[in-house]
Structure 1
């Protein structure tokens, strides 16, 4: 009986240790998963402060504002034609160059047909095409048609940054050990970062066109893996106060979240007034956003901005 009791206690102890190990592994896994919604903690790219701009001469500010031009790479599919059409008729008109890349040909709207069903392979082809047709453009913004972008705020963010340096920024996230920029919030690449990326595309060992892993990485994570081999790492885009500029949620959602988390200071707790992107809005909500951002004006109010980004010729959204 004593032997049986000893075996019983031994089994209880081992079982308890096993359960404890499972709990620890579970907490580690949850910790890793929760890390996917945390902002990037180590690398930050901040927009210039007003004090920083006032130290620049008028001629230098004008030179910078003329130099900063954005090439928008917008990934679309015919099955979401209504979002595609909305992006084409709203915020993308403020890009200095906007090219839509589609998975298959469509007679409804103009786009580059990549004839590719795989999401990652299609993104690779689009980035390579944008690089080869960049011309004088030195900043690249990759977006989905469900993302709404305020291009002037993006220009302000990168105003004093050198595109010959490898910038890869947006809403920086972490998944396990991998730091990446969330696709749904928009991805910004400098010319140097895109140049390195296109180069590593040629190395199938480091950056395969077709995933060879047991599980398939999303496009934004695969992009981060390839860039990591070139020495380019994800950076979080922020305003001068440290608030994130790239949002994976709609305006309604971020305000609703702030009302719950910061009921006594909703606006300050919500988001930056220099926000670059929002996501998850319906086409009608995007049209309303265009009205609020570009058309609604309080009569007699002067914003006293230190510089101006003129919209591209032909833009009818101002």
Structure 2
């Protein structure tokens, strides 16, 4: 998700970092451009974000349903580690109605996934989401994108998946790493801790070694995470995917 005014300040940095690791990447905006962006014919602004999300998934369903198994929504200030996302999804069936992300608890009985942290729909979840609007079972009943999508997912019997790692550490994050790693230095206590479905963990044990996403990343943060993730290595260290 992006906007015309963000192409230089944000979107080009997504393209130059994690975006190039997607199988297919589509930059959804209100206007078509040669960046390239897909014009969705919607107004910009936070109050229109859910409409934009609906139109984006309808576009993907119409033009790209058979081009991928999983469909990730991310903002233009979210950094995603695609290898960890693929690993986390590898044991799940894309024909099962499910979606993954950072699970919050209020407003939707089964919970919903944080929009900022990004969320990923199975192919069947995408089908059901689009069908929900086509059949009048889902509606634009809120301006808040992630809650609105969560309500439709629940109506269409799409399950919320558990995206934590084998040590029950979170992989999707609606804020940058320092918000979690240095929580004891930050006051006041942030709102998102009250929304957590799972008991929140602060400090070094907060985040998975196989973290998938961080939100509110500016251009410097994007390229810093790119360096830390794909270039910086301690000499002689061999990574283990399945810690004992």
Q: How does 1:103-252 map to 2 (within 5 A)?
A: 103-107=30-34, 109-117=35-43, 118-132=48-62, 133-178=64-109, 179-204=111-136, 206-208=137-139, 210-211=140-141, 216-252=142-178
Q: C-alpha displacement at 1:304, in angstroms?
A: 5.6
Larger radius of gyration: 1
TM-score relative to the length of structure 2: 0.83
User: 8 Å contact 2:27–2:38 — kept in the other structure?
Assistant: yes
Cα distance per residue 1:258-309 (max 9 Å; x no partner): 6679xxx942x23111111111121111101000001112344333658xxx
Contact preservation (8 Å) 2:31, 2:37: no
**1:76 paired to 2:2:** yes
TM value normalised by structure 1: 0.65
- Where 1:104 maps in the other structure, the secondary structure is coil
Q: 1:252 to 1:136 in 2, by over 3 A?
A: same
Worse-matched range after superposition: 80-89 or 183-192: 80-89
Give me the whole-angstrom Cα distance separating, in 2, the residues matched to 1:243 and 1:258. Answer: 18
CA deviation string 1:170-214 (max 9, x = no partner): 10101144421110011111011111111112133x222x44xxx
**What is the CA–CA distance in structure 2 between the aligned matches of 1:303 and 1:173, rounded to whole Å?**
31
- Classify 1:115/1:176 alpha carbon distance in 2 versus 1 (closer, same or farther; 3 Å): closer
- 1:89 maps to what in 2? 16
Shift of 1:103: 1.2
| Alignment deviations for residues 118-138 of structure 1 (CA, whole Å, 9 cap, x no partner) | 322221111122223132411
Specify which of 289, 292, 297 is matched with residue 228 of structure 2.
Answer: 292
Name the structure where strand makes up a greater proportion of residues. Answer: 1
SS in 2 for 1:164: coil
- List gaps (5 residues or longer) in structure 1: 1-74, 307-318
CA distance in 2, matches of 1:170, 1:245: 8
Q: 1:78 to 1:135 in 2, by over 3 A?
A: same
Q: Secondary structure at the match of 2:66?
A: coil
Encode CA deviations 1:230-281: one digit per residue, 9 max, x unaligned: 11133331000111111111012211116679xxx942x2311111111112
